[in-house]
């Protein structure tokens, strides 16, 4: 048997005339997801820039609270991942009835969990903020409390929207969630302009705008899910009764994904504590570099999200070789996208740093770090992250959780702290550690895929 048959996929077992996602259908799924990721990133930058006009206290408060909010959002993202995987596998079996039952349990689980987290954050927002950011200025703390209170109210709406979008993506419909997300982002920006600059509401205006944009997303997505002409239909909400077995299956996928996402965010906070010891110019350069590097990976992230739907359908239909085929094909697409994105963003770096009003020293540091990223990222990042989406779609979530968490803390976090605090490196230490992390992940997940153990998991 050839290497391709053993380690990649066996083409002889794939019916190329009867693929689950033939060429056009695959692109219809992929393109909206990539566009959504890119626009969300760009809108996030615009949102931050608008808040920064209010003053340093405001932008510091929003930045601090967002670090906490991201942890909460990771929980919702993990449950959405579980929804995509479970519903996609049922749909791959042509079992719409159980897919709908699973979707109902996801809605129930997400609703109660998000309400619980909202209540906790509302009641304990002051102790939480003081525990994490106890030494900040009084003005920053006051703004943080306001922003945290209002954004916490949006958690149930965001959680339900994430789940609803996951249902549509599981059905192969990524275009509609993209449209809603784009409209919501523009509403958020417009709301910021009116409330921050028109009514002079400061961080409260930014938070209220975010709240109403998330309410809008949730309402529109669930109105769409009531339509009968689609595989997953969500209605008669008050008739949904808990099914503990299904909820257990959802949590078995969601909890490891949530832990993995949470460890990633805690790792970022640990690294940030070391970056905070650097000079102002170095911290500014690092902040800009993080934003630019994030943009270079958005194509890969969008393709990875699509991969969960495609591979989930193939696994559910019992087409293992077709699942492998899609993992290889979409990883190749992601590699091309990440390479082109890296080159484009690197070419635009001098202009972006100039428009951002960065000092010459910060601009030079940012350019040097982006050069290193452009030279390394195309070779290892895609294999480090994109095939893992397909492996998770087959139900192999615990391996991903353990591997990602260990590599994150042993390589990325520990190495970064050592280089900065012990060896006296500047912000390039963050990226040296990041490159080590990416390389290790690429090796481990490539070996995991080639070994085939990921394909023997059972989700449904």
User: What's the CA gap between 82 and 392, in Å, rounded?
Assistant: 9
Under 8 Å CB-to-CB from 284, ≥6 apart: which residues? Answer: 358, 359, 362
222 vs 274, which has greater pLDDT? Answer: 222
Residues 343-392 have pLDDT tens digits of: 999 999 998 888 767 788 888 999 999 999 999 999 999 999 999 999 99
Phi and psi at 239, nearest 5°, equal -95, -5
Supply 422's token pair: 């012990």
Q: In whole angstroms, give the CA distance from residue 443 to residue 235.
A: 45
- In whole angstroms, give the CA distance from residue 176 to residue 165: 8
pLDDT, residue 79, reads 85
Cα separation, 374 vs 341, in Å, equals 9
Q: What whole-number distance in Å separates Cα of residue 400 and Cα of residue 408?
A: 12
CB-based contact 176:35 (threshold 8 Å): no
- What mean pLDDT do residues 39-52 have? 72
**In the structure, what pLDDT confidence band is assigned to residue 1 with cuts at 50, 70 and 90?**
very low
Are 366 and 349 in contact, with CB atoms under 8 Å apart? yes
Contact criterion met (CB below 8 Å) for 330 and 307:
yes
Cβ–Cβ < 8 Å for 81, 47 = no
Is the Cα torsion angle 129, 261, 240, 156 positive or negative in sign?
Answer: positive
Name the band, by pLDDT with cuts 50, 70 and 90, for residue 3: very low
Q: Region 259-275: what's the mean pLDDT?
A: 77
3-state secondary structure of 134: coil
């Amino acid at each position: 048997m050839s290497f391709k048959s053993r380690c990649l996929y066996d083409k002889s077992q794939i019916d190329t005339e009867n693929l689950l996602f033939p060429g056009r259908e695959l692109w219809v799924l992929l393109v909206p997801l990539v566009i959504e990721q890119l626009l969300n990133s760009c809108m996030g930058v615009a949102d931050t820039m608008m808040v920064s006009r209010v003053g340093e206290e405001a932008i510091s408060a929003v930045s601090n609270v967002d670090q906490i909010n991201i942890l909460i959002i990771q929980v919702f993202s993990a449950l959405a991942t579980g929804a995509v995987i479970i519903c996609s596998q049922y749909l791959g079996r042509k079992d719409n009835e159980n897919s709908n039952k699973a979707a109902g349990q996801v809605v129930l689980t997400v609703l109660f969990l998000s309400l619980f987290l909202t209540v906790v954050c509302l009641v304990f927002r002051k102790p939480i903020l003081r525990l994490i950011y106890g030494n900040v200025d009084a003005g920053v703390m006051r703004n943080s409390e306001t922003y945290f209170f209002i954004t916490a109210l949006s958690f149930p709406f965001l959680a339900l929207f994430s789940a609803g979008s996951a249902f549509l993506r599981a059905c192969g419909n990524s275009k509609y969630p993209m449209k809603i997300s784009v409209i919501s982002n523009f509403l958020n920006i417009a709301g910021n302009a009116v409330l921050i600059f028109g009514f002079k509401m400061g961080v409260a205006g930014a938070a209220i705008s975010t709240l109403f944009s998330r309410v809008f997303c949730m309402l529109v997505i669930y109105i769409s899910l009531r339509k009968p002409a689609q595989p997953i239909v969500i209605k008669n909400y008050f008739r949904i009764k808990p099914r503990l077995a299904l909820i257990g299956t959802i949590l078995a996928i969601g909890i490891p994904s949530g832990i993995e996402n949470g460890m990633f965010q805690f790792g970022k906070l640990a690294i940030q504590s070391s970056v905070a010891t650097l000079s102002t110019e170095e911290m500014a350069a690092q902040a800009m570099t993080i934003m630019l590097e994030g943009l270079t990976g958005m194509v890969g992230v969008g393709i990875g999200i699509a991969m969960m739907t495609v591979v989930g359908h193939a696994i559910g239909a019992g087409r293992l070789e077709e699942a492998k085929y899609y993992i290889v094909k979409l990883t190749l697409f992601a590699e091309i996208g990440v390479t082109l994105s890296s080159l484009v963003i690197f070419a635009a770096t001098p202009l972006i740093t100039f428009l951002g009003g960065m000092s010459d020293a910060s601009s030079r540091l940012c350019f040097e770090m982006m050069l290193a990223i452009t030279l390394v990222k195309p070779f290892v990042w895609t294999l480090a992250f994109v095939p893992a989406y397909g492996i998770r779609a087959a139900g192999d979530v615990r391996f991903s959780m353990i591997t990602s968490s260990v590599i994150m803390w042993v390589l990325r976090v520990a190495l970064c702290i050592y280089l900065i605090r012990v060896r006296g490196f500047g912000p390039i230490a963050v990226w040296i550690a990041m490159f080590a992390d990416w390389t290790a992940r690429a090796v481990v997940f490539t070996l995991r895929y080639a070994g085939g153990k990921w394909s023997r998991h059972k989700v449904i």
